Amino acid sequence: MNLLEYIRMGGGINWILCLCFFISCILIIERLIYFSFSGRKNHPSSQISRMRRISRETKNIPRDIRIDILEKHGALLQEEMEKELWLLRFIAAASPTLGLLGTVIGLIRAFQDMGAGSTGTIQDFSGGIWLAMLTTACGLIVALPSMFFVSFFKRIINKRLLSMSLAVDDEYLDEINMKVECGA
């Protein structure tokens, strides 16, 4: 049996899970590309470079207003990094539940057939259970990589947020050091 036959045998919920898997793959690939290009240390589009640029551009603004501007830009950059992770989180959480729903529906059918006085054997009944369990397996196959990449991306985001914060602090410290060296 090939993969397509297993999906078909699992019923309509397996097709929904396949769609979820396809969407999660697209999201994972898009975020991997985004993080690989936006993570280059001295690249102008990196979050750290952008925060340093904003820090330099606002250095003559009063400190409280400057901090507010930097926090807002940091929040926007965080939002940019977390783009569509909510959907990946949702897929990771919902897929096992969808798989379980498919299993329950399959078990209901198997018991219904058995209770309807069908002349099926225990092998027929166990075959129905086997088919019902396919959706649980599908749900887990979709959820596990999604959960892994949500955690992976959150780790990258947290490291970049820390680096952005340190980059702004470095700019601020450099300013203070220059003022002290100049005798200001």
Distance from C-alpha of 20 to C-alpha of 145, rounded to nearest angstrom: 12
The pTM is what? 0.77
Residue 170: closest CA among 41, 75, 51: 51
Contact 84, 27 (CB under 8 A): yes
Strand blocks (E) in the chain: none
Residue for token pair 């979709």 = 142
Name the token pair of 183: 């005798």
pLDDT per position as a tens digit, 37-46: 887 766 667 8
Q: What pLDDT was estimated at residue 172?
A: 57
Q: State residue 118's pLDDT score.
A: 61
Q: What is the pLDDT of residue 144?
A: 97
Q: Which DSSP letter does residue 62 get?
A: -
pLDDT per residue as tens digits for the range 79-119: 999 999 999 999 999 999 999 998 888 888 777 777 766 66
> Which residues of the chain, if any, have pLDDT below 50?
176, 180
